[in-house]
Amino acid sequence: MARSLSFTRAAESLGLSLSAASLQIRALEEYLGRALFRRNGREVALTTEGAALLPRVQSALGALESAVDDARAEPDSGQLRITTLSSFLQQWLLPRLPGFRALHPQIDFHFHTSASVVDFVREEHHIAIRIGAGPWPGLHVDRLMPEWLIPVCAPALLKRHGAVRDVRDLGRYPLLHSTTEPWTSWLLGGGLASQSEQLEGSSLDDSLALVRMAERGQGLALARWSLVAQEIESGVLVVAGPAVRFERSYWFVCPVRQKNVASVRLFRDWLVAEAAMAPLPPSVSAQS
């Protein structure tokens, strides 16, 4: 809160609701018997007392985080605990993982799947791989790779209905999309946002299920490129329209002190190299 001077951004970074974050600030102020923030509508500023308290709290939290990191640091042969998205793990990471294991057979993994904000102090994770706007302050962060949204479908469906370029073309198809990546995202990239309310279709909160439905010919799916690149290469799915650059990217995230642990460093370097070699969508590759 003191870094961002925004209750909304502070709540999002902590994985709390705005009201819960506000209640915690109010409780702290009542406990101390003094105001830490001045509120003027949407504008928030530190009081003199809040500004004096901030560096001491930051120092104490930094020392606590360092102590926790030291206690949890793994030896070279330890188990590496990674939290990531289930769809990314299954579609992108697992097919590539044998390459890492061949290089570093001494490192074992524990994978945890979640899209939630990670609390590295409370949760026993060494590394998080997330898709988002990034970066996250107070953590070591590497941008792994950009993402694209791309219309895909089974070959027979494309043959029947043809390629798509705008909202009129989409009307020929049964549409599929994820709740976090709706077709409006693709239309915004194409400059057709004003017509987005005309769209209908099935929505799923599981990006991997979306890919599987598309493979079975159940509709035209708006998919993240990272999740369908192999299906496109194998011919199980085909590209039905241009890819648009997604506003979010994939990120490697870990506590600052954890980045120097040997197993974390080896995995990070390998992951960055793999991401750099990942194929681009066909329409993007042609422009490169």
Q: Are 45 and 5 in contact (CB under 8 A)?
A: yes
Which CATH entry fits the domain spanning 147-246: 3.40.190.10, 3.30.470.20, 2.60.40.1220, 1.10.10.10?
3.40.190.10
Query: Is the peptide bond prior to 55 cis by the omega test (within 30 degrees of 0)?
Result: no
What's residue 14's pLDDT?
55
**Two domains, one topology: 79-146+248-287 and 147-246:** yes
C-alpha closest to that of 118 among 68, 79, 82: 82
Instruction: Find tokens 């925004």 and name the residue.
Output: 6
Q: Where are the domains of the chain?
A: 7-72, 79-146+248-287, 147-246
Asked if CATH classification 1.10.287.110 holds for the domain at 7-72, the reply, yes or no, is no
Residue type for 254, please?
A: C
d(CA 270, CA 176): 34
Residue ranges for the chain with pLDDT beneath 70: 1-18, 21, 41-42, 57-58, 60-78, 190-199, 283-288
Short-list 108, 120, 110, CA closest to 67: 120
Whether 148 contacts 281, CB under 8 Å: yes
* CATH annotation of 79-146+248-287: 3.40.190.10
Give the pLDDT score at 122. Answer: 85
Q: What is the DSSP letter of 74?
A: P
Which alpha helices (DSSP H) does the chain contain, by range? 7-14, 18-32, 48-72, 86-88, 94-103, 155-161, 167-170, 183-189, 207-215, 225-234, 262-277, 282-287
Predicted structure pTM score: 0.70
Decide: 253 and 141 in contact? Cβ < 8 Å.
yes
Q: For residue 154, give the nearest of 226, 229, 212, 236 by alpha carbon.
A: 236
